Amino acid sequence: MQTANTNTVWSSYIHTPSLLAKHRELRFRDENADALKKLLAIEDGRSIIEVGCGPGTLCHKLQQWYPTTSVSGFDIDEGFIEYAQNSYAGVHYFAADANLINTQQRYDYTISHTIFEYMSPDCFFRANNELLKDDGVMIIISNVQSINHDEELRTPPIPLLQAYYDTVKDLKSVHSHVVDRQNYQERDIITSLDRYGFEPIGIHYYANEIIPCNETPEKRAVIMDMYKEIQHSMFVTSIRKYGKIDQERYTQILAEIDSYYDEYSKQLDSKWPLHIDLLRIVKAKKKCT
Ligand SMILES: C[S@@+](CC[C@H](N)C(=O)[O-])C[C@H]1O[C@@H](n2cnc3c(N)ncnc32)[C@H](O)[C@@H]1O
């Protein structure tokens, strides 16, 4: 199997590994396991590989939910793979580019979560085809729609931070300059499946409440940490891209971000954020060759 070139585009510019892992811990939390397992319908005791596993959280959950299944995951981004290897035991993580994947080892299942929309269909389906046994099952999970009422957490009214962002001309491009996200319709996927050698099994939707009310103090802390880290990550990414900020101001802005979220935590009950994602789960069988 060929490994990727040194590459940390996603983990350096889009989401830090720990931030993405926090979000995925909430999305794939154990309270959702029964509902998700029903839709995934994976048979325990088989082999499964995640294409573009990022920080490795979904693989880790699958390993826990299907204890006799052998779980592997790969990603082109070595920053994510290093994080996954250091954070989760019992899963085989490795760095590789899906465009180049070429292996003798075949799996009963491939799974992917929010990666299909960032890759060319040719590359995505070729990699899944390459990795699956004949009759193996491909599972594609995408986030197709979000409902967010968490503006004060996503765009906090911190004057110094806002003043900095006002100096950044094209803020939107900060996070989108390295990725190009496609929004595929259901019909596009169905047509592609046949073209790339897959037979549809079914498509399901799952409304995933990322932040349910009345969480335990530990989970509340994770939620607030996640929002705090989103701000840190956006700010630091902007600095990386646009540079030019003096050290004192930099430190002061980071401290203000921290204190904003610490204060917010104290009022969380009355300002509980809503964040629901609609996940689409596509399942298809590889046609025998
Ligand atoms: C939105 S992230 C999702 C990560 C992970 N599936 C998760 O949900 O936490 C997209 C991922 O696709 C990976 N990726 C993009 N192109 C890839 C390629 N050619 N081969 C392997 N991974 C790739 C990125 O490095 C990134 O980790």
Q: With beta carbons less than 8 A apart as the criterion, state whether 211 and 230 touch.
A: no
Q: How far is the CA of 75 from the centre of ligand 1 (A)?
A: 6
SS3 label, residue 238: helix
Q: Which of 8, 53, 115, 119 for mutating ligand 1's site (highest number of atoms within 8 Å of CB)? A: 115
- Token look-up 């999970």 returns 141
Give me the residues paired with residue 276 across strands. 147, 209
Q: Is 53's C-beta closer than 6 angstroms to any atom of ligand 1?
A: yes
Give the structural domain span for 57.
9-286
Provide the b/e sequence for 158-173 (b: ≥16 CB within 10 Å).
beebeebeeeeeeeee
The backbone torsions φ and ψ at residue 83, rounded to the nearest 5 degrees and listed phi first, read: -60, -45
Does residue 1 sit within a domain? no
289 residues of the chain, pLDDT tens digit each: 333 334 566 676 667 888 889 889 999 999 999 999 999 999 999 999 999 999 999 999 999 999 999 999 999 999 999 999 999 999 999 999 999 988 889 999 999 999 998 888 999 999 999 999 999 999 999 999 889 899 999 889 999 998 888 887 665 665 554 456 778 888 889 999 999 999 999 999 999 888 888 788 888 888 898 899 888 888 887 887 776 788 899 899 999 999 999 999 999 888 889 989 999 999 999 998 7
CATH of the domain at 22: 3.40.50.150
Does residue 109 sit within a domain? yes
Count of domains in the chain?
1
Q: Which of 76, 93, 126, 175 for mutating ligand 1's site (highest number of atoms within 8 Å of CB)? A: 76
Does residue 112 sit within a domain? yes
Index of the ligand 1 atom closest to the CA of residue 56: 9
Residue 224, token pair as written in the block: 């607030």
Question: What pLDDT is stored for residue 32 in this prediction?
Answer: 93
Q: How far is the CA of 166 from the centre of ligand 1 (A)?
A: 31
Index of the ligand 1 atom closest to the CA of residue 52: 22
How distant is the alpha carbon of residue 220 from its chain centre? 20
Residue 8, token pair as written in the block: 């940390």
Give 5: exposed, middle or buried? Use CB within 10 Å, 0-12, 13-18, 19+.
exposed
Does residue 248 sit within a domain? yes
Does residue 130 sit within a domain? yes
CA atoms within 13 A on the CB side of 273: 21
Question: What pLDDT is stored for residue 7 in this prediction?
Answer: 57
92-95 and 70-75: which strand pairing? Answer: parallel
Q: How far is the CA of 58 from the centre of ligand 1 (A)?
A: 12
SS3 label, residue 277: strand
Does residue 3 sit within a domain? no
Question: What pLDDT is stored for residue 222 in this prediction?
Answer: 86
Distance CA 129, CA 113 (A): 17
CA-based max dimension of the chain: 63
Helix, strand, coil in percent for the chain, rounding step 5 = 45, 20, 30
- CB neighbour list of residue 61: distance below 8 Å, 6 or more residues apart: 28, 30, 33
Supply the residue whose CA is at minimum distance from atom 1 of ligand 1.
Answer: 114
Q: Is 115's C-beta closer than 6 angstroms to any atom of ligand 1?
A: yes
Q: Is 127's C-beta closer than 6 angstroms to any atom of ligand 1?
A: no
The overall pTM is greater than 0.85: yes
Does residue 118 sit within a domain? yes
Question: What pLDDT is stored for residue 13 in this prediction?
Answer: 63
Does residue 28 sit within a domain? yes
The backbone torsions φ and ψ at residue 256, rounded to the nearest 5 degrees and listed phi first, read: -70, -35
- Token look-up 């390459």 returns 130
Q: How far is the CA of 76 from the centre of ligand 1 (A)?
A: 7
